[in-house]
Amino acid sequence: MENHGFIRVAAAIPEVKVADCAFNTAQIKNLIAKAYSNGVQAVCFPELSLTAYTCADLFLQKQLTQNAEQSLVQLLQDTKEMPVCFIVGAPVEHNFKLYNCAVVCLQGQILGIVPKVFLPNYAEFYEKRWFEAYSLKTPVTEIKYANQQTPFGTNILFEAADQLTFAVEICEDVWSVVPPSSYHAMAGANVIFNLSASDELIGKQQYVKSLLSQQSARCQAAYVYAAAGFGESTTDLVYAGNAYVYENGKLLAAAQRFQYTEQLIFSEIDTELLTAERKKNTTFIAHPVPENYHIVSATTAVMSTERSEWRHPKQPIAISRTINPTPFVPSTAQYNESCDEIFSIQVAGLAKRLVHTHVKTLIIGVSGGLDSTLALLVCAKAVDKLGLPRQTICGVTMPGFGTTDRTRTNALQLMKSLGIQIKEINIVPACEQHFKDIGHDPKIHDITFENTQARERTQILMDLSNQMNGMVVGTGDLSELALGWATYNGDHISMYAVNSGIPKTLVRHLVRWAAETQLDDAGKANLLDIVDTPVSPELLPTNADGGMTQFTEDVVGPYELHDFFLFYTLRYGFTPEKIFFLAQQAFKNNFDDAVIKKWMQVFYKRFFSQQFKRSCLPDGPKVGSVNLSPRGDWRMPSDASAAGWLG
């Protein structure tokens, strides 16, 4: 079983007793064993976890530092059969100075010791009273600690199998103007562990989370943070036991605060995702820092970095993190704000084009389906923003052989509620004439039968735009572009495509959001019925009851799956094997493996074969991180082979 670049990491919060190294070491050992049983490959403990953080002047007692060292010797012995890399905090003496350190260990060996760079200077806790700060400029040296010779210094990278390279910083380091982790990331670290002991203040937790999220995103790395918790002295301060796992700015796991028992949180880091992000981001390079900076340059940091290598046994990993089945849809927490922003981007793009072209009318085909509904709502908001009358918009509904009463009624009702110009043009006579002209039997409901209608509709819209000094607004969405589910030189073409950056799964949510927030009760009911209408081009004749006989997802597959495939193909460039693995996790309660595989094959076949349609797309606004514009985001030969992906 492939791990697909996933590495399981953890943050552990043990119960501690101040200055009781034996007790603390026993708690740490239990959590290492727990991490091992859960398949964790690297686990981080809080700052000074061997002694507890709040020992104050006891740190200046030789007995305490000796006890910590001896406890580590015993811990190494007790865990040498567990292939789990663990990082504990300890006070370490070197050259007659005491340093607040992170000790990185694996199977009885100390891989390296990392001292703290920035020491807090607060009235309530003056760490400089006991510890020496360590300079980023100081070269890595070697010291003897816990009966072992080991690297000692800030610039140490720890390399492991499966693309894992991690580094360590301690608490205050991440609060600095330029944290050590920034240099570590430029030197190659894709995971940062932070041993912390941040006390609680009103509002501080949200600031810490924001800080960690931003540093994780800035470094395009995972960030694992473990802070001191229950058992620390409460003489003047309280420690809540905060622990977080971030990946490129996204929170994957968090501890419960103010717990009175030990905690272990873990999640999987996707190292392939981080690698993909760094490859695409041209600002992520290990370039030299300008000479006027009084810090070590990135080049020097790379050259002076000591490399300590460890290998974790290759083993299958069961994903515990949640894989979102709808990656394009905003999360619940930011749903309204995100929908409003997406809608505003579409509106702003169209408004600028309307002002630039000096046209008098926006021409849009309105089918009563999701895509044209969203595009029409964007048109209405754009003219409102520009102070233009709604009559600037001309909505055209063009019933054909497969148009149902439901969609036709919804289209007309929507246009009336928005107060725009309405035209209804039946395309059946024109299509029948065209069938005669080209010698096609209208009883043969093939691709010619379908595309004749699509191109007739586009011809009507284009000719109306000439007649009315207008601009045709396209309605096709990102998912249709990915699958090529559009008639070439038919609905494939417009003068500005407002939905070209919106995938189908998101279109449905945006229309529902508009129903809830933008319209009155009558308009809301209309939009919600459109949302509930099955997706269909309505190009094949209706049944005896006037109902739909053509359903898009029966032909091309569920858009929920295709949007998932599209996101991970374009956003991160993952292999089909990995995307299939992720889809298994995301859709385990909805689709079995055979169904996922079937529609994934359809996705790759269509995505490659239909590139020629995307090579000549009309302009349209980019909305998210995934887009198919041939002028910027996706430049692909139209005759590229899908064999490597299908294989």
Query: Which of the residues are catalytic?
Result: 47, 116, 171
CA 350 remoteness from chain centre: 27
Pairwise CA distance, residues 467 & 311, whole Å: 71
Mention every residue, 6+ apart, whose C-beta is less than 8 A from residue 22: 67, 71
Residue that has been written with the tokens 């949007």 in this structure: 563
Give φ, ψ of 179 to 5 degrees.
-65, 150
Q: Dihedral through CA 464, CA 468, CA 470, CA 474, nearest 10?
A: -30
The type of residue at 599 is W
**C-alpha pair distances (Å), 512 with each of 374, 375, 390, 531, 562:** 10, 14, 22, 7, 21
Strands (E), 185-283: 191-196, 222-227, 243-247, 250-254, 263-270
Terminal C-alpha separation, the chain? 18
Cα distance between residue 617 and residue 625, in whole Å: 18
Record the tokens describing residue 90, joined without a space.
């300890």
Which residue, chain included where needed, has tokens 């010779």? 149
What's the angle, vertex CA 419, arms to CA 414 and CA 421, rounded to 5?
90
Find out whether 125 and 237 touch, Cβ atoms under 8 Å.
Answer: yes
| Widest pairwise Cα distance in the chain | 101
Helix (H) or strand (E) holding 423: strand 421-424
- For residues 157 and 354, give the distance between their C-alpha atoms in angstroms, rounded to a whole number: 54
Count the neighbouring beta carbons within 10 Å of the beta carbon of residue 214. 14
**Residue showing tokens 């809540």:** 240
Closest CA to 323 of 27, 85, 4: 4
H, E, C per residue of 58-106: HHHCHHHHHHHHHHHHHHHHHCCCCCCEEEEEEEEEECCEEEEEEEEEE
The structure tokens listed for 78 are 């007790």
Rounded to whole angstroms, how far apart are CA atoms 635 and 338? 28
Torsion of CA 616, 622, 628, 630, to 10 degrees: 40
Compute the CA torsion angle 309, 315, 321, 327 (nearest 10 deg): 90
Those residues with Cβ within 8 angstroms of residue 578's Cβ, 6 or more apart along the chain or in another chain = 2, 4, 5, 272, 568
Q: Where are the alpha helices (DSSP H) in 139-252?
A: 180-187, 204-219
- The count of residues in the chain is 647
133: closest CA among 150, 121, 144?
121
77: which residues sit within 8 A by CB, 6+ positions away? 108
